[in-house]
Structure 1
Amino acid sequence: MVLALLLGLGAGVLFGVIPAIRYDVWRAEPDEPTETPDAVQQTPTPEATATPEPTPTPEIAPATAEEWVERYMTTMSVQEKLGQLMMFGFSGTSEVQNPFREIWSNYAVGNAILYGPNIKSSNSDGGFGQAKSLTERIASSVNNNIPPLIGIDVEGGSVVRFRWNPQPVSARSLGRRRDVDFAKEQFQTIGAKLVSVGINLDLAPVLDVSENPMDTFLETRIISEDATIAAGIGSAIIEGLHAGGCLSSAKHFPGHGGTNEDSHAVTPVVDKSLEALQSYDLVPFVSAIESGVDAIMVSHVLYPALDSTDIATMSKPIMTDLLRVQMGFEGLILSDDFRMDGLTTRYEVGDAAVRFILAGGDIIICGAVSEKQQAIAEALGAAAADGRLTQERLDESVKRVLLKKLSLGTWDIEGAVAARTVPAS
């Protein structure tokens, strides 16, 4: 029976065993002695009685999604767990080809991301039929016991990947309309369409805010210069995607709008005080968490008021202390793409992958550069082997990822557990 209770990791702003079942085993008592008539009383030897077999303690089936995930995790190898922390891209439009296929197989890569070159948007159907075939091939290229998260950027406006009819309006247009119902309806349609072709994670909404959006590289991808409007429309986008059955990921935490530099090319610096960030840049993210956003993507940007040393994707003060503890976010923390110069000009990719996880991140995104994917996978494996990445820390992220996958309702985890009765080596 497919698990009925499917849980997501709902987020809200926070402040601040199965009991052992006792089985009593019945044991036979010897018969009472009987008198022998006209003779000296003798105590007869009682008939031998067999000692009953102890009643076996039945295995108790997990009752919650969390218990099912924990049960499944006991069957996973370290490499299978590490693979759940990777979301990799690839080149091609029909299948995952080498060298990517070999890397994904060798390192049990558990998730995929699609970019524009993966979608034949010029097709008569806008690329949706081709995408459906592609996602089916992707599923066969990852751990077959666990369905992959397959992500894509569909934000509206210029970032839509497919050819839509009608074309989704941009985030900027949604902000100007100030119509939360329209925003929700647009993204419910988007979410349902993505799910219909096998894509279950939309890397939207963009929740960066700027007083001069058109002076930033994000331009019309920014909802509004008003943080309150951005928060309202952003929450409507999240609700719409959920109504369409699709996961959502807000970005680029803790806010990319305070700089006109592009983290694809350089390492930007947002030189704002903590108070300024809290009263402006973080406002839409607080709203997104309250609206149950599934994931938050962290930027390759330096915020000296929060961490004077490291960019957000390497920063425990930002990802753990601020996002997890102070803001109470319980969902997935994603990196921005590890191909970007905002990261690679300051850090070696393999070392950065380990640092991202140790600082509190859950899933590393890396597009179609096989050398970088190889470096990420090898570095994570080495960190797990030498103890820098502890099993406890690894399991924290793996559990979050698997719970989110289970919430989609497409994973028969009961069957998966039954099929893996012996722990993987």
Structure 2
Amino acid sequence: MKTFQGVAAVAATALLLTGCADTSSPTAGPSTAPSSSVPLPPSDTPPPVSTPTDQPSTPTSTPQTGCLDQKLAGLTLRERAAQLIMTGITATGMTSAERTVVRGRKPGGVLLMGNGGSLAHTRTAMAAATAAATVDGIRPFVAADQEGGKIQRLKGTGFDRIPAATVQAGWSAQKLTSEATQWGRQLKQAGVNLDLAPVADVVPKSLGDGNAPIGALDRGYGSTPGPIGVHVAAFVKGMDAAGVMTSVKHFPGLGRVRGNTDFSAGVVDTVTVRGDADLAPFAAGIEAGSDLVMVSTVTYTKIDKTNRAVFSPTIVQGMLRGDLGYDGVVITDDVGAAAEVASVPAGDRATLFIEAGGDVVITAKASLTATMVDAVVAKAQQDKKFSAQVDASVRRVLALKQSRGLVSCG
């Protein structure tokens, strides 16, 4: 099997596997045999993390670059660290404790937890959360898991009931894009600017519901990479048309595991390899313009047997940023309440991810926000290389926010 060396190459290979074009109307195809081991790319050393500068913009800088430099330079180290944390809040509105955290720490994002209310109620609640988290004209990501089926946070009056991915998989790409645009418009009206979807994981037909995180919850688009990639791309394009960001997930794939990392520890993938064919749907989502990529907390023994994916430089920098050429924002799966990382000190969960090349750390537990921010600040004060990685991550976050109208300049 060929080792993939870039987004376009992987996406093209995905289409060749099935003969699908982006305008086709595939359904979930037959399962494929587990991929065999493939040779690693020429170098297994992660590419270096670029070191941004806080210097004022030069006369040749564009207005956008000048604004970005100004905002970055104007943030304290603690405010920069906070931009890399996404804090869980109650979907119907912040509790008193959550409000204290968001107002005091100014996290770069908030994630809706639990089931929300109506669109109108959500709009009011998210306006309050946005105001509480805004710092120096930089507004937060306001994120929800709005996939469809069993995973839909917002389904009160004003929100369509979204079919499960297994149903969406039977639609044409055009229909899915059209429907996703409608769902995205509802999110946008409600003050939600980021949908933590779509799922790009490939669950083998032989495993099916035995795969607790995806198969058992009908969250996947099928068992063949090509058709899955087409639907992933269609979903991304629909949300983008509505002005809502997306995060393709859960890199490098949860399709071959049995346990759900939210509730189980020691979840391991012993099959997936670097350059695996099942990475194609992630490449398709990136090629379609997904704003973020979410990394799983599973350990992939044939890639990095020592580190969970979120803490693995080989996976985040080597595979995602190197092999797939992705230079956007990388986000964790939840590392706040998830059982998989419970044994790792909360502060380390944040610093290890940033060290690995990631950017935004999700904690479903708002109470861990301060611990994570403090840990990032402390390490940045002691470690120049880590401090440079923090600045690089904040720059990527601010660049995305600026492109989506979440940064006010002047």
TM range (shorter): 0.7 to 0.9
Query: How many angstroms does 1:330 deviate by?
Result: 1.4
Q: Which residue matches 2:387?
A: 391
**Residue from 312, 325, 350 that aligns with 2:347:** 350
**Residue from 121, 142, 159 that aligns with 1:130:** 121
Query: Measured at CA, do residues 211 and 94 of structure 1 come closer, stay the same or move farther in structure 2, by a change above 3 Å?
Result: closer
Alignment of 1:85-124 (within 5 A): 85-91=84-90, 93-98=92-97, 100-117=98-115, 119-120=116-117
Q: 2: distance between equivalents of 1:13 and 1:375?
A: 39
- Check whether the contact 1:249–1:293 (CA below 8 A) recurs between aligned residues: yes
Corresponding letter in the other structure for 2:81? L
Corresponding letter in the other structure for 1:170? A
Q: Would you say 1:158 and 2:150 are equivalent positions?
A: yes
Query: Measured at CA, do residues 165 and 294 of structure 1 come closer, stay the same or move farther in structure 2, by a change above 3 Å?
Result: closer
Corresponding letter in the other structure for 2:168? L
**Residue from 170, 174, 177 that aligns with 2:168:** 174
Q: 2: distance between equivalents of 1:383 and 1:398?
A: 15
Q: 1: distance between equivalents of 2:351 and 2:406?
A: 30
Query: How many angstroms does 1:65 deviate by?
Result: 2.4
Q: Which residue matches 1:23?
A: none
Q: 2: distance between equivalents of 1:362 and 1:112?
A: 15
Q: 1: distance between equivalents of 2:132 and 2:244?
A: 22
Q: Would you say 1:215 and 2:210 are equivalent positions?
A: yes
3-state SS of paired residue (2:246): strand
Q: Deviations over 1:82-141 (max 9, x none)?
A: 11101001247333522x333334433221111224x12xxxxxx111110011111121
Q: Deviations over 1:329-354 (max 9, x none)?
A: 11111001111011113x22211211
- Check whether the contact 2:184–2:243 (CA below 8 A) recurs between aligned residues: yes
Alpha-carbon RMSD across the aligned residues, in angstroms, is 2.3
Corresponding letter in the other structure for 1:282? L
3-state SS of paired residue (1:90): strand
Query: Measured at CA, do residues 200 and 278 of structure 1 come closer, stay the same or move farther in structure 2, by a change above 3 Å?
Result: same
Q: Which residue matches 1:187?
A: 180
Query: Measured at CA, do residues 75 and 273 of structure 1 come closer, stay the same or move farther in structure 2, by a change above 3 Å?
Result: closer
Q: 1: distance between equivalents of 2:70 and 2:151?
A: 40
Q: Would you say 1:65 and 2:64 are equivalent positions?
A: yes
3-state SS of paired residue (1:229): helix
Query: How many angstroms does 1:166 deviate by?
Result: 4.3
Q: Deviations over 1:182-223 (max 9, x none)?
A: 111111111111111111000000111111332212221011
Query: Measured at CA, do residues 59 and 239 of structure 1 come closer, stay the same or move farther in structure 2, by a change above 3 Å?
Result: closer
Flag the structure with larger Rg. Answer: 1
Corresponding letter in the other structure for 2:64? A
3-state SS of paired residue (2:300): coil
Q: 1: distance between equivalents of 2:220 and 2:393?
A: 30
Corresponding letter in the other structure for 1:156? G
- Check whether the contact 2:85–2:109 (CA below 8 A) recurs between aligned residues: yes
- Check whether the contact 1:62–1:68 (CA below 8 A) recurs between aligned residues: no
Q: Would you say 1:319 and 2:311 are equivalent positions?
A: no
Query: Measured at CA, do residues 59 and 341 of structure 1 come closer, stay the same or move farther in structure 2, by a change above 3 Å?
Result: closer
Query: How many angstroms does 1:374 deviate by?
Result: 2.8
Q: Which residue matches 1:367?
A: 364
Q: 1: distance between equivalents of 2:388 and 2:381?
A: 13
Query: How many angstroms does 1:369 deviate by?
Result: 4.5
Give the TM-score taking structure 2 as reference length: 0.80
Q: Which residue matches 2:334?
A: 337
- Check whether the contact 1:96–1:141 (CA below 8 A) recurs between aligned residues: no
Query: Measured at CA, do residues 64 and 292 of structure 1 come closer, stay the same or move farther in structure 2, by a change above 3 Å?
Result: farther
Alignment of 1:71-86 (within 5 A): 71-86=70-85
- Check whether the contact 1:86–1:364 (CA below 8 A) recurs between aligned residues: yes
Query: Measured at CA, do residues 190 and 165 of structure 1 come closer, stay the same or move farther in structure 2, by a change above 3 Å?
Result: closer
Q: 1: distance between equivalents of 2:69 and 2:127?
A: 27
Q: 2: distance between equivalents of 1:274 and 1:68?
A: 41
Corresponding letter in the other structure for 2:381? A
Q: Deviations over 1:24-65 (max 9, x none)?
A: xxxxxxxxxxxxxxxxxxxxxxxxxxxxxxxxxx98484242
**Residue from 196, 201, 209 that aligns with 2:194:** 201
Query: How many angstroms does 1:242 deviate by?
Result: 0.4
Query: Measured at CA, do residues 59 and 393 of structure 1 come closer, stay the same or move farther in structure 2, by a change above 3 Å?
Result: closer
3-state SS of paired residue (2:396): helix
Of residues 156-165 and 131-140 in structure 1, the stretch that sits farther from structure 2 once superposed is: 156-165
- Check whether the contact 1:383–1:389 (CA below 8 A) recurs between aligned residues: no
Of residues 64-73 and 259-268 in structure 1, the stretch that sits farther from structure 2 once superposed is: 64-73
Q: 1: distance between equivalents of 2:371 and 2:159?
A: 40
Give the TM-score taking structure 1 as reference length: 0.77
- Check whether the contact 1:105–1:142 (CA below 8 A) recurs between aligned residues: yes
Q: 2: distance between equivalents of 1:169 and 1:87?
A: 27
Q: Which residue matches 1:382?
A: 378
Q: Deviations over 1:134-159 (max 9, x none)?
A: 11111121133211111001001121
